[in-house]
Chains A and B, each alone.
Chain A
Amino acid sequence: MCEVKVITGTSAAAEAARLADVDVIAAYPITPQTTCVEKLAEFVANGELDAEYVKVESEHSALSVCIGAAATGARTFTATASQGLALMHEVLFIASGMRLPIVMMVANRALSAPINIWNDHQDSIAQRDTGWIQIYVEDNQETLDSIIQAYKIAENDDVLLPVMVCLDGFILTHTVEPVTIPKAERVREFLGVYEPKHAYLDPDRPITQGPVGVPDCYMETRKQIEDAMERSKKVIKEVNEEFSEWFKRKYGNGLVEAYNLENADTVLVAMGTVCGTIKDVIDELKKEGKEVGLLRIRTYRPFPKEDVKELLKDAENIAVLDKNISFGFNKGALGIEMASILKNKKICNYIVGLGGRDIRIEDIKTIINDVEKSEDDKTAWIGLKE
Protein backbone atom coordinates (compact mmCIF):
# COMPACT_ATOMS: atom_id res chain seq x y z
CA MET A 1 0.00 0.00 0.00
CA CYS A 2 1.45 3.27 -1.11
CA GLU A 3 0.34 6.78 -0.54
CA VAL A 4 0.25 9.44 -3.26
CA LYS A 5 1.00 12.98 -2.19
CA VAL A 6 1.08 16.09 -4.36
CA ILE A 7 4.37 17.60 -3.25
CA THR A 8 7.39 19.61 -4.33
CA GLY A 9 10.77 18.12 -5.23
CA THR A 10 12.28 19.29 -1.98
CA SER A 11 9.49 17.62 -0.02
CA ALA A 12 10.02 14.47 -2.05
CA ALA A 13 13.71 14.59 -1.06
CA ALA A 14 12.79 15.06 2.61
CA GLU A 15 10.32 12.17 2.41
CA ALA A 16 13.08 9.99 0.98
CA ALA A 17 15.45 10.85 3.83
CA ARG A 18 12.67 10.03 6.30
CA LEU A 19 11.96 6.72 4.59
CA ALA A 20 15.68 5.90 4.64
CA ASP A 21 15.58 6.40 8.42
CA VAL A 22 18.64 8.62 8.42
CA ASP A 23 20.43 9.02 11.76
CA VAL A 24 22.00 12.46 11.40
CA ILE A 25 20.88 15.43 9.31
CA ALA A 26 22.94 18.59 8.95
CA ALA A 27 20.90 21.54 7.79
CA TYR A 28 21.81 24.99 6.57
CA PRO A 29 19.26 26.94 4.54
CA ILE A 30 19.82 28.19 0.99
CA THR A 31 17.32 28.96 -1.75
CA PRO A 32 15.97 26.83 -3.42
CA GLN A 33 16.87 23.99 -1.06
CA THR A 34 15.22 25.41 2.08
CA THR A 35 11.88 23.64 1.94
CA CYS A 36 13.73 20.34 2.11
CA VAL A 37 15.44 21.06 5.43
CA GLU A 38 12.25 22.71 6.73
CA LYS A 39 10.30 19.55 6.00
CA LEU A 40 12.94 17.41 7.71
CA ALA A 41 12.84 19.69 10.76
CA GLU A 42 9.07 19.10 10.91
CA PHE A 43 9.52 15.34 10.67
CA VAL A 44 11.98 15.38 13.55
CA ALA A 45 9.91 17.81 15.62
CA ASN A 46 6.83 15.62 15.18
CA GLY A 47 8.63 12.40 15.93
CA GLU A 48 8.05 11.08 12.40
CA LEU A 49 11.79 10.66 12.00
CA ASP A 50 14.19 9.69 14.77
CA ALA A 51 17.33 11.61 13.83
CA GLU A 52 19.77 14.13 15.22
CA TYR A 53 19.02 17.36 13.35
CA VAL A 54 22.11 19.57 13.53
CA LYS A 55 21.44 23.22 12.78
CA VAL A 56 24.87 24.14 11.51
CA GLU A 57 26.24 27.60 10.86
CA SER A 58 27.39 27.00 7.26
CA GLU A 59 27.40 24.48 4.45
CA HIS A 60 31.05 23.81 5.15
CA SER A 61 30.06 22.65 8.61
CA ALA A 62 26.99 20.84 7.23
CA LEU A 63 29.14 18.45 5.27
CA SER A 64 31.73 18.32 8.05
CA VAL A 65 29.03 17.19 10.49
CA CYS A 66 27.94 14.52 8.01
CA ILE A 67 31.53 13.35 7.65
CA GLY A 68 32.01 13.11 11.42
CA ALA A 69 28.69 11.27 11.78
CA ALA A 70 29.24 8.94 8.82
CA ALA A 71 32.73 8.16 10.10
CA THR A 72 31.06 7.07 13.34
CA GLY A 73 28.75 4.71 11.47
CA ALA A 74 25.62 6.84 11.06
CA ARG A 75 23.46 7.20 7.95
CA THR A 76 23.56 10.88 7.09
CA PHE A 77 21.76 13.38 4.89
CA THR A 78 22.25 17.00 3.94
CA ALA A 79 21.05 19.30 1.19
CA THR A 80 22.37 22.41 -0.47
CA ALA A 81 22.56 24.48 -3.66
CA SER A 82 24.80 26.82 -5.61
CA GLN A 83 26.96 29.00 -3.29
CA GLY A 84 26.45 26.48 -0.53
CA LEU A 85 27.79 23.69 -2.68
CA ALA A 86 30.69 25.91 -3.71
CA LEU A 87 31.46 26.57 -0.05
CA MET A 88 31.48 22.81 0.53
CA HIS A 89 33.96 22.26 -2.29
CA GLU A 90 36.93 21.51 -0.05
CA VAL A 91 35.01 19.04 2.07
CA LEU A 92 33.43 17.26 -0.92
CA PHE A 93 36.82 15.78 -1.77
CA ILE A 94 37.25 14.67 1.83
CA ALA A 95 33.89 12.87 1.98
CA SER A 96 34.84 10.76 -1.05
CA GLY A 97 38.47 10.44 0.01
CA MET A 98 37.34 9.04 3.36
CA ARG A 99 34.94 6.76 1.47
CA LEU A 100 31.85 7.83 3.39
CA PRO A 101 28.43 7.06 1.87
CA ILE A 102 26.84 10.46 2.52
CA VAL A 103 23.78 11.35 0.46
CA MET A 104 23.06 14.96 -0.43
CA MET A 105 20.27 16.65 -2.30
CA VAL A 106 21.50 19.44 -4.57
CA ALA A 107 18.90 21.95 -5.75
CA ASN A 108 20.68 23.06 -8.91
CA ARG A 109 21.09 26.82 -9.03
CA ALA A 110 23.32 29.29 -10.87
CA LEU A 111 26.50 30.68 -9.29
CA SER A 112 27.34 34.31 -8.53
CA ALA A 113 28.20 36.92 -9.76
CA PRO A 114 25.76 38.37 -10.46
CA ILE A 115 23.84 36.60 -7.76
CA ASN A 116 21.06 34.49 -9.23
CA ILE A 117 18.79 32.07 -7.42
CA TRP A 118 17.42 30.37 -10.53
CA ASN A 119 18.28 27.10 -12.17
CA ASP A 120 21.23 25.89 -14.13
CA HIS A 121 23.78 23.10 -13.57
CA GLN A 122 26.95 25.13 -13.07
CA ASP A 123 27.03 24.44 -9.32
CA SER A 124 27.15 20.65 -9.42
CA ILE A 125 29.07 20.44 -12.70
CA ALA A 126 31.80 22.51 -11.00
CA GLN A 127 32.04 19.64 -8.46
CA ARG A 128 32.52 17.04 -11.16
CA ASP A 129 35.95 15.87 -10.05
CA THR A 130 35.27 15.63 -6.32
CA GLY A 131 34.68 11.87 -6.35
CA TRP A 132 30.93 12.06 -5.79
CA ILE A 133 28.41 10.07 -7.77
CA GLN A 134 26.04 12.54 -9.42
CA ILE A 135 22.47 11.63 -10.37
CA TYR A 136 20.41 14.19 -12.32
CA VAL A 137 16.67 13.63 -12.03
CA GLU A 138 13.78 14.61 -14.25
CA ASP A 139 10.82 14.84 -11.88
CA ASN A 140 9.79 14.75 -8.24
CA GLN A 141 9.08 11.03 -8.17
CA GLU A 142 12.56 10.38 -9.48
CA THR A 143 13.92 12.67 -6.77
CA LEU A 144 12.40 10.53 -4.05
CA ASP A 145 13.31 7.26 -5.71
CA SER A 146 16.87 8.35 -6.48
CA ILE A 147 17.62 9.36 -2.91
CA ILE A 148 16.48 5.96 -1.70
CA GLN A 149 18.56 4.31 -4.42
CA ALA A 150 21.47 6.59 -3.53
CA TYR A 151 21.83 5.04 -0.08
CA LYS A 152 21.75 1.55 -1.55
CA ILE A 153 24.44 2.52 -4.07
CA ALA A 154 26.64 4.55 -1.71
CA GLU A 155 26.66 1.95 1.07
CA ASN A 156 27.49 -0.94 -1.25
CA ASP A 157 30.90 -2.36 -0.27
CA ASP A 158 32.00 -2.18 -3.90
CA VAL A 159 31.24 1.54 -3.99
CA LEU A 160 31.49 3.41 -0.66
CA LEU A 161 31.28 6.80 -2.28
CA PRO A 162 29.03 9.78 -1.50
CA VAL A 163 26.14 10.57 -3.83
CA MET A 164 24.55 13.85 -4.80
CA VAL A 165 21.06 13.74 -6.22
CA CYS A 166 20.66 16.84 -8.36
CA LEU A 167 17.27 18.33 -9.13
CA ASP A 168 16.56 21.52 -11.00
CA GLY A 169 16.01 24.48 -8.70
CA PHE A 170 12.47 25.91 -8.76
CA ILE A 171 11.50 23.76 -11.76
CA LEU A 172 11.30 20.81 -9.38
CA THR A 173 12.06 22.22 -5.95
CA HIS A 174 9.05 24.54 -5.99
CA THR A 175 6.67 22.70 -8.30
CA VAL A 176 4.18 20.18 -6.98
CA GLU A 177 3.63 16.86 -8.68
CA PRO A 178 1.91 13.69 -7.55
CA VAL A 179 4.52 11.50 -5.88
CA THR A 180 4.01 7.94 -4.74
CA ILE A 181 5.42 7.52 -1.24
CA PRO A 182 6.38 3.93 -0.47
CA LYS A 183 5.82 2.44 2.96
CA ALA A 184 8.64 3.22 5.37
CA GLU A 185 8.98 -0.43 6.41
CA ARG A 186 9.40 -1.47 2.79
CA VAL A 187 12.11 1.11 2.18
CA ARG A 188 13.91 0.18 5.39
CA GLU A 189 13.77 -3.45 4.39
CA PHE A 190 15.04 -2.58 0.90
CA LEU A 191 17.96 -0.58 2.30
CA GLY A 192 18.85 -2.51 5.44
CA VAL A 193 20.81 -0.72 8.16
CA TYR A 194 24.17 0.87 7.50
CA GLU A 195 26.88 -1.27 9.11
CA PRO A 196 30.23 0.00 7.86
CA LYS A 197 33.09 -2.44 7.92
CA HIS A 198 35.82 -0.02 6.89
CA ALA A 199 35.24 3.16 8.83
CA TYR A 200 33.63 3.77 12.18
CA LEU A 201 34.92 5.45 15.29
CA ASP A 202 34.50 3.20 18.28
CA PRO A 203 36.68 2.93 21.40
CA ASP A 204 36.42 -0.85 21.12
CA ARG A 205 38.25 -0.70 17.79
CA PRO A 206 40.55 2.33 17.77
CA ILE A 207 41.28 3.23 14.15
CA THR A 208 42.86 6.32 12.64
CA GLN A 209 40.76 7.93 9.90
CA GLY A 210 42.08 10.71 7.69
CA PRO A 211 45.84 10.33 8.23
CA VAL A 212 48.55 12.10 6.26
CA GLY A 213 48.57 10.64 2.74
CA VAL A 214 52.26 10.52 2.11
CA PRO A 215 53.44 10.25 -1.56
CA ASP A 216 53.89 6.53 -0.99
CA CYS A 217 50.12 5.96 -0.59
CA TYR A 218 48.26 8.98 -1.96
CA MET A 219 48.12 7.93 -5.60
CA GLU A 220 46.71 4.52 -4.64
CA THR A 221 43.89 6.19 -2.74
CA ARG A 222 42.99 8.11 -5.91
CA LYS A 223 43.03 4.95 -8.02
CA GLN A 224 40.81 3.21 -5.47
CA ILE A 225 38.21 5.97 -5.86
CA GLU A 226 38.37 5.68 -9.64
CA ASP A 227 37.98 1.90 -9.42
CA ALA A 228 35.01 2.31 -7.07
CA MET A 229 33.43 4.74 -9.56
CA GLU A 230 33.89 2.20 -12.30
CA ARG A 231 32.35 -0.58 -10.17
CA SER A 232 29.48 1.72 -9.23
CA LYS A 233 28.15 1.59 -12.81
CA LYS A 234 27.19 -2.04 -12.34
CA VAL A 235 25.81 -1.35 -8.87
CA ILE A 236 23.71 1.58 -10.09
CA LYS A 237 22.19 -0.62 -12.79
CA GLU A 238 21.51 -3.43 -10.35
CA VAL A 239 19.95 -1.11 -7.80
CA ASN A 240 17.75 0.36 -10.53
CA GLU A 241 16.53 -3.15 -11.40
CA GLU A 242 16.10 -4.19 -7.79
CA PHE A 243 14.24 -0.98 -7.02
CA SER A 244 11.88 -1.65 -9.89
CA GLU A 245 11.15 -5.13 -8.55
CA TRP A 246 10.33 -3.70 -5.13
CA PHE A 247 8.62 -0.45 -6.08
CA LYS A 248 7.60 -0.88 -9.74
CA ARG A 249 9.48 2.13 -11.07
CA LYS A 250 12.74 2.34 -12.98
CA TYR A 251 14.81 4.95 -14.73
CA GLY A 252 16.31 3.71 -17.97
CA ASN A 253 19.14 1.37 -17.12
CA GLY A 254 20.03 3.52 -14.13
CA LEU A 255 22.84 5.35 -15.91
CA VAL A 256 21.04 6.54 -19.03
CA GLU A 257 17.52 6.66 -20.35
CA ALA A 258 16.94 6.19 -24.08
CA TYR A 259 13.85 7.80 -25.57
CA ASN A 260 12.87 7.07 -29.17
CA LEU A 261 16.45 6.37 -30.16
CA GLU A 262 15.60 3.65 -32.68
CA ASN A 263 15.26 5.04 -36.18
CA ALA A 264 16.34 8.51 -35.10
CA ASP A 265 19.24 10.08 -36.98
CA THR A 266 19.02 13.15 -34.82
CA VAL A 267 19.58 12.68 -31.11
CA LEU A 268 19.53 15.19 -28.29
CA VAL A 269 21.63 14.52 -25.21
CA ALA A 270 20.70 16.28 -21.97
CA MET A 271 20.28 16.03 -18.18
CA GLY A 272 17.52 17.00 -15.77
CA THR A 273 14.09 18.51 -16.37
CA VAL A 274 14.80 19.80 -19.86
CA CYS A 275 14.47 16.16 -20.88
CA GLY A 276 10.73 16.43 -20.15
CA THR A 277 10.40 19.30 -22.61
CA ILE A 278 12.48 17.42 -25.16
CA LYS A 279 10.25 14.33 -24.84
CA ASP A 280 7.19 16.48 -25.56
CA VAL A 281 8.84 17.85 -28.68
CA ILE A 282 9.86 14.36 -29.78
CA ASP A 283 6.27 13.13 -29.38
CA GLU A 284 4.94 16.07 -31.34
CA LEU A 285 7.41 15.59 -34.19
CA LYS A 286 6.67 11.88 -34.26
CA LYS A 287 3.06 12.67 -35.07
CA GLU A 288 4.38 14.71 -37.98
CA GLY A 289 6.37 11.69 -39.12
CA LYS A 290 9.75 12.96 -37.95
CA GLU A 291 11.92 10.77 -35.71
CA VAL A 292 14.13 12.47 -33.14
CA GLY A 293 15.67 10.71 -30.15
CA LEU A 294 16.78 11.67 -26.65
CA LEU A 295 19.56 10.21 -24.60
CA ARG A 296 19.12 11.36 -21.04
CA ILE A 297 22.28 11.16 -18.99
CA ARG A 298 21.13 10.24 -15.49
CA THR A 299 24.51 9.70 -13.85
CA TYR A 300 27.00 12.31 -14.91
CA ARG A 301 29.50 10.65 -12.58
CA PRO A 302 30.22 7.84 -13.17
CA PHE A 303 29.90 8.84 -16.81
CA PRO A 304 28.14 6.11 -18.82
CA LYS A 305 30.75 5.99 -21.59
CA GLU A 306 29.93 2.47 -22.79
CA ASP A 307 26.17 3.09 -22.96
CA VAL A 308 26.65 6.37 -24.77
CA LYS A 309 28.94 4.79 -27.36
CA GLU A 310 26.57 1.91 -27.95
CA LEU A 311 23.35 3.90 -28.01
CA LEU A 312 24.65 6.65 -30.26
CA LYS A 313 26.61 4.51 -32.69
CA ASP A 314 24.13 5.12 -35.50
CA ALA A 315 23.21 8.72 -34.67
CA GLU A 316 24.21 11.27 -37.29
CA ASN A 317 23.24 14.58 -35.75
CA ILE A 318 24.05 14.82 -32.07
CA ALA A 319 22.90 17.88 -30.17
CA VAL A 320 24.23 18.15 -26.62
CA LEU A 321 22.43 20.55 -24.31
CA ASP A 322 24.38 22.04 -21.43
CA LYS A 323 23.08 24.20 -18.59
CA ASN A 324 26.65 25.16 -17.76
CA ILE A 325 29.60 26.73 -19.53
CA SER A 326 33.33 26.14 -19.37
CA PHE A 327 34.63 29.65 -19.83
CA GLY A 328 37.52 29.85 -22.25
CA PHE A 329 36.48 26.68 -24.08
CA ASN A 330 33.00 27.83 -25.13
CA LYS A 331 31.45 24.46 -24.48
CA GLY A 332 29.49 22.88 -21.68
CA ALA A 333 30.79 19.98 -19.66
CA LEU A 334 28.55 17.40 -21.31
CA GLY A 335 29.48 18.71 -24.76
CA ILE A 336 33.18 18.37 -24.02
CA GLU A 337 32.80 14.84 -22.67
CA MET A 338 30.58 13.60 -25.48
CA ALA A 339 33.15 14.88 -27.99
CA SER A 340 35.89 13.05 -26.15
CA ILE A 341 34.18 9.65 -26.37
CA LEU A 342 32.40 9.85 -29.74
CA LYS A 343 35.11 10.15 -32.36
CA ASN A 344 34.27 11.12 -35.94
CA LYS A 345 30.74 12.19 -35.13
CA LYS A 346 29.12 15.56 -35.62
CA ILE A 347 28.41 16.88 -32.12
CA CYS A 348 26.91 20.33 -31.70
CA ASN A 349 26.85 21.83 -28.24
CA TYR A 350 24.03 24.11 -27.15
CA ILE A 351 24.37 26.29 -24.09
CA VAL A 352 20.89 26.69 -22.65
CA GLY A 353 18.95 27.88 -19.65
CA LEU A 354 21.70 29.60 -17.67
CA GLY A 355 20.48 31.32 -14.52
CA GLY A 356 16.86 30.33 -15.08
CA ARG A 357 16.51 31.39 -18.72
CA ASP A 358 13.44 29.56 -20.07
CA ILE A 359 13.99 26.70 -22.46
CA ARG A 360 10.91 26.73 -24.66
CA ILE A 361 9.52 24.16 -27.08
CA GLU A 362 10.64 26.49 -29.89
CA ASP A 363 14.19 26.47 -28.54
CA ILE A 364 14.29 22.68 -28.73
CA LYS A 365 12.96 22.79 -32.29
CA THR A 366 15.56 25.41 -33.19
CA ILE A 367 18.27 23.12 -31.82
CA ILE A 368 16.96 20.14 -33.83
CA ASN A 369 16.89 22.16 -37.04
CA ASP A 370 20.27 23.65 -36.32
CA VAL A 371 22.05 20.39 -35.64
CA GLU A 372 20.54 18.82 -38.74
CA LYS A 373 21.75 21.55 -41.04
CA SER A 374 25.14 22.06 -39.39
CA GLU A 375 27.99 20.63 -41.39
CA ASP A 376 30.41 20.37 -38.52
CA ASP A 377 30.74 20.60 -34.74
CA LYS A 378 29.77 23.92 -33.28
CA THR A 379 28.71 25.64 -30.08
CA ALA A 380 25.66 27.89 -29.97
CA TRP A 381 24.04 29.80 -27.11
CA ILE A 382 20.28 29.41 -27.28
CA GLY A 383 17.80 32.01 -26.06
CA LEU A 384 20.25 34.91 -25.76
CA LYS A 385 18.71 38.33 -26.02
CA GLU A 386 19.69 40.68 -28.82
Chain B
Amino acid sequence: MVTIAAIIYEPGNSIRNKTGSWRTFRPILDNNKCVKCENCYIFCPEGAIQEDENGNFKIDYDYCKGCLICMNECPVNAITKVREEK
Protein backbone atom coordinates (compact mmCIF):
# COMPACT_ATOMS: atom_id res chain seq x y z
CA MET B 1 0.00 0.00 0.00
CA VAL B 2 1.27 3.44 -0.90
CA THR B 3 1.78 5.62 2.19
CA ILE B 4 -0.03 8.93 2.52
CA ALA B 5 1.70 11.54 0.33
CA ALA B 6 4.14 8.74 -0.58
CA ILE B 7 6.17 9.56 2.52
CA ILE B 8 9.06 7.15 3.11
CA TYR B 9 9.33 6.20 6.77
CA GLU B 10 12.33 3.90 6.59
CA PRO B 11 15.53 6.00 6.53
CA GLY B 12 18.21 4.88 4.09
CA ASN B 13 16.23 1.91 2.77
CA SER B 14 17.86 2.33 -0.64
CA ILE B 15 20.32 -0.25 0.69
CA ARG B 16 17.83 -2.74 -0.77
CA ASN B 17 19.04 -1.69 -4.17
CA LYS B 18 22.30 -3.56 -4.72
CA THR B 19 24.09 -1.40 -7.26
CA GLY B 20 27.06 -3.75 -7.40
CA SER B 21 25.48 -5.31 -10.49
CA TRP B 22 26.33 -2.14 -12.44
CA ARG B 23 30.06 -2.87 -12.30
CA THR B 24 32.24 -3.52 -15.32
CA PHE B 25 35.54 -3.35 -13.43
CA ARG B 26 36.08 -4.54 -9.90
CA PRO B 27 38.52 -2.62 -7.70
CA ILE B 28 40.72 -4.84 -5.53
CA LEU B 29 42.26 -3.32 -2.44
CA ASP B 30 45.53 -4.72 -1.14
CA ASN B 31 45.60 -4.03 2.59
CA ASN B 32 49.31 -4.78 2.76
CA LYS B 33 50.00 -1.75 0.59
CA CYS B 34 47.31 0.48 2.15
CA VAL B 35 48.63 3.48 4.12
CA LYS B 36 45.15 4.38 5.57
CA CYS B 37 45.13 7.82 3.96
CA GLU B 38 41.31 7.49 3.71
CA ASN B 39 41.19 8.85 0.14
CA CYS B 40 39.25 5.85 -1.14
CA TYR B 41 36.94 6.03 1.87
CA ILE B 42 36.05 9.68 1.55
CA PHE B 43 35.83 9.93 -2.24
CA CYS B 44 33.59 6.89 -2.79
CA PRO B 45 30.23 8.19 -4.11
CA GLU B 46 28.52 5.12 -2.65
CA GLY B 47 30.16 5.00 0.74
CA ALA B 48 31.01 1.47 -0.32
CA ILE B 49 34.45 1.47 1.26
CA GLN B 50 34.31 1.07 5.02
CA GLU B 51 36.76 0.34 7.78
CA ASP B 52 36.48 -3.08 9.41
CA GLU B 53 37.06 -3.89 13.08
CA ASN B 54 40.81 -4.34 12.44
CA GLY B 55 41.11 -0.88 10.94
CA ASN B 56 41.40 -2.21 7.39
CA PHE B 57 39.38 -0.70 4.56
CA LYS B 58 37.08 -3.08 2.72
CA ILE B 59 35.13 -2.63 -0.48
CA ASP B 60 31.47 -3.59 -0.30
CA TYR B 61 30.84 -5.18 -3.67
CA ASP B 62 27.09 -5.14 -3.07
CA TYR B 63 27.15 -1.43 -3.78
CA CYS B 64 30.44 -0.61 -5.54
CA LYS B 65 29.50 0.57 -9.05
CA GLY B 66 33.08 0.22 -10.26
CA CYS B 67 33.74 3.91 -10.92
CA LEU B 68 37.36 3.36 -9.83
CA ILE B 69 37.74 6.78 -8.24
CA CYS B 70 39.35 4.84 -5.35
CA MET B 71 41.97 3.36 -7.65
CA ASN B 72 42.68 6.70 -9.25
CA GLU B 73 43.02 8.50 -5.92
CA CYS B 74 45.10 5.89 -4.12
CA PRO B 75 48.55 7.45 -3.60
CA VAL B 76 50.32 4.08 -3.18
CA ASN B 77 48.60 2.01 -5.90
CA ALA B 78 47.08 -0.32 -3.35
CA ILE B 79 43.96 -0.63 -5.50
CA THR B 80 43.96 -2.42 -8.83
CA LYS B 81 41.14 -3.41 -11.16
CA VAL B 82 39.96 -6.61 -12.78
CA ARG B 83 37.22 -7.01 -15.36
CA GLU B 84 34.01 -8.47 -13.95
CA GLU B 85 33.13 -11.91 -15.24
CA LYS B 86 29.49 -11.87 -16.36
Q: A and B: direct contact (Cβ < 8 Å)? A: yes
> Is B8 a contact of A224 with CB atoms below 8 Å?
no
> Is A207 a contact of B9 with CB atoms below 8 Å?
yes
Interface size class on chain A is 10 to 19
> Is B6 a contact of A213 with CB atoms below 8 Å?
yes
Cα A14 to Cα B11 in complex, Å, equals 39
The interface centre, meaning the residue of A206, A208, A211 with most chain B CB atoms within 10 A of its CB, is A208
Cα A209 to Cα B3 in complex, Å, equals 11
Determine how close the nearest CB of chain A comes to the CB of B14; give it in whole angstroms.
10
A99 within 8 A of B: yes
Within 8 A of A (CB), among B2-26: 2-9, 11
Main secondary structure of the interface of B (DSSP, over half): loop
Cα A227 to Cα B4 in complex, Å, equals 12
Determine how close the nearest CB of chain B comes to the CB of A71; give it in whole angstroms.
9
> Is A220 a contact of B4 with CB atoms below 8 Å?
no
Select which of B1, B4, B9, B11 is within 8 A of A99 by beta carbon.
B4
Instruction: Note all chain A residues with C-beta closer than 8 A to B3.
Output: 198
Determine how close the nearest CB of chain A comes to the CB of B56; give it in whole angstroms.
30
> Is B7 a contact of A221 with CB atoms below 8 Å?
no
Number of interface residues of B (CB under 8 A): 10
> Is B2 a contact of A224 with CB atoms below 8 Å?
yes
Query: A210-254 interface mask toward B, CB cutoff 8 Å, 1 = contact, 0 = none?
Result: 110100010011001000000000000000000000000000000
> Is A98 a contact of B2 with CB atoms below 8 Å?
no
Cα A221 to Cα B11 in complex, Å, equals 20
Chain B residue with Cβ nearest A94: B5
> Is A198 a contact of B8 with CB atoms below 8 Å?
no
Cα A220 to Cα B4 in complex, Å, equals 9
Cα A208 to Cα B4 in complex, Å, equals 12
> Is A211 a contact of B9 with CB atoms below 8 Å?
no
> Is A221 a contact of B5 with CB atoms below 8 Å?
yes
> Is A97 a contact of B5 with CB atoms below 8 Å?
yes
Within 8 A of A (CB), among B51-79: none
Cα A209 to Cα B7 in complex, Å, equals 5
Select which of A199, A208, A210, A220 is within 8 A of B2 by beta carbon.
A220
Instruction: Note all chain A residues with C-beta closer than 8 A to B1.
Output: 220
> Is A217 a contact of B8 with CB atoms below 8 Å?
no
Determine how close the nearest CB of chain B comes to the CB of A282; give it in whole angstroms.
44
Instruction: Note all chain A residues with C-beta closer than 8 A to B8.
Output: 207-208, 211
A160 within 8 A of B: yes
> Is B4 a contact of A198 with CB atoms below 8 Å?
yes
Determine how close the nearest CB of chain B comes to the CB of A263; give it in whole angstroms.
46
Instruction: Note all chain B residues with C-beta closer than 8 A to A99.
Output: 4-5
Determine how close the nearest CB of chain A comes to the CB of B13; give it in whole angstroms.
9
Select which of B4, B9, B11 is within 8 A of A224 by beta carbon.
B4
Chain A residue with Cβ nearest B4: A198
Cα A199 to Cα B8 in complex, Å, equals 10
> Is B7 a contact of A198 with CB atoms below 8 Å?
yes
Cα A224 to Cα B1 in complex, Å, equals 11
Cα A97 to Cα B7 in complex, Å, equals 11
Determine how close the nearest CB of chain B comes to the CB of A230; give it in whole angstroms.
15
Cα A47 to Cα B48 in complex, Å, equals 53
Query: A61-89 interface mask toward B, CB cutoff 8 Å, 1 = contact, 0 = none?
Result: 00000000000000000000000000000
> Is A199 a contact of B7 with CB atoms below 8 Å?
yes
Within 8 A of B (CB), among A166-202: 198-199
Instruction: Note all chain B residues with C-beta closer than 8 A to A97.
Output: 5
> Is A207 a contact of B11 with CB atoms below 8 Å?
yes
> Is A221 a contact of B9 with CB atoms below 8 Å?
no
Determine how close the nearest CB of chain B comes to the CB of A68; give it in whole angstroms.
14
Instruction: Note all chain B residues with C-beta closer than 8 A to A209.
Output: 5, 7
> Is B9 a contact of A217 with CB atoms below 8 Å?
no
Cα A207 to Cα B6 in complex, Å, equals 11
30 residue pairs A–B, Cβ–Cβ below 8 Å: A97-B5, A98-B5, A99-B5, A198-B4, A198-B5, A198-B7, A199-B4, A199-B5, A199-B7, A206-B11, A207-B7, A207-B8, A207-B9, A207-B11, A208-B7, A208-B8, A208-B11, A209-B5, A209-B7, A210-B5, A211-B6, A211-B7, A217-B2, A217-B6, A220-B1, A221-B2, A221-B5, A221-B6, A224-B2, A224-B4
Beyond A198-B4, A213-B6, A224-B2, 15 additional contacts (C-beta under 8 Å) are A97-B5, A98-B5, A160-B4, A198-B7, A199-B7, A206-B11, A207-B8, A207-B9, A207-B11, A208-B8, A210-B5, A220-B1, A220-B2, A221-B2, A224-B4
